[in-house]
Amino acid sequence: MNRQLLTLIILLLAALLAGCTVAPMQPSGAMGDMTAMATEAPLPEPEPGKLTIVDARARPAPLAGGTGAVYFTILNGLDSDVQLVSASSPAANVVETHETVAENGVMKMIPLPEGYTVPAGEALMLKPGGKHIMLIDIVKPLAPGDTVDLTVNFDNGESMELTVPVLDMQMTMPGNMQMPDTSHDHLDHGEDSDAKSEEHSHDHGESSMEHSHGVMDSALANAIKALPISAVHNIDETLHDGKELDQTEAIATLDALLEQVNTFTWPAELETAIAEIKLSAEALRSAIENGDLDAAGPLATKLHDLLHELEMH
């Protein structure tokens, strides 16, 4: 190969490489961590001298006598800390301040009777999977489009009247996550180059779809794994064996289950199964709360079976 030809080849390769840019791959983080998948917007800044509540919403509750939850963000623009000490609503016979916590790998709902502290100049977010206002023994079912009247009381004497919309809240999982941009600014190399570019684009599209499908499968598996299935099994076993049931712990388990199934976007093929799980969990919770263990036994078995079927999905 003569020197002129070699020089020409080097120049052509340099031109091709200079025209092709690849965006760096962004770190994906721990795909198993569901909270890392959904990026939360930064909290708004409190307005100086004011205590305000924003972004209030309630989750649907399918059965009268069951439970619901209200979430919002408190902005404390005052010069001192304030404590949210209580809340009340005509939509429920009991309203409590709660928090969802992980205990020995099981998500549980615990009451916080003293409420929540909001530091001076800061914001506190009540959200699914964290602090929230619990509506217990709701008067009638709450469906998307309904509203809930809620009064929130603080230790500085302030009370706020809220009209809270009921929303079909679902956590958006990254099933539509985009692959890194690998756009190429090629020189015009004729029809052969265009055909190769189209083939590359087609292959890349299929790869992106496969990646997205894989991410969604992983998210679904993690969502199912996070459900308190073993705790529901313990409830079923305790009732079946005629042992004494810890009513508070059982209700907390069912509340946590309901919150988790209400905050994940389930695929269409599982919607019927999830609806059955919700209804069974609400019915079991009501039976346990009313002390009707004869009714609770078969309900616990049914719920455990439904969760086991979901686990085998």
pTM for the complete prediction? 0.55
pLDDT band with cut points at 50, 70 and 90 for residue 7: low
Residue 2 has pLDDT above 70, yes or no: no
How do residues 26-53 score in pLDDT, each as one tens digit?
333 333 344 443 445 678 889 999 999 9
Residues 6+ apart with CB under 8 A from 81: 117, 118, 119, 120
**Helix, strand, coil percent content, the chain, rounded in steps of 5:** 40, 25, 35
Pick the more confident residue, 40 or 155: 155
How do residues 266-306 score in pLDDT, each as one tens digit?
888 888 888 889 888 988 988 888 888 888 999 999 998 88
pLDDT band with cut points at 50, 70 and 90 for residue 13: low
Pairing of strands 67-76, 123-125: antiparallel
Given a contact cutoff of 8 angstroms between Cβ atoms, the answer to whether 193 and 186 are in contact is yes
At 9 the pLDDT is 58
Cα 178 to the center of its chain, rounded Å: 20
pLDDT band with cut points at 50, 70 and 90 for residue 200: very low
Q: Which residues on neighbouring strands pair with residue 95, listed in sequence order?
A: 135
Nearest CA to 50 out of 154, 124, 121, 133 is that of 121
At 34 the pLDDT is 40
Pick the more confident residue, 119 or 291: 119
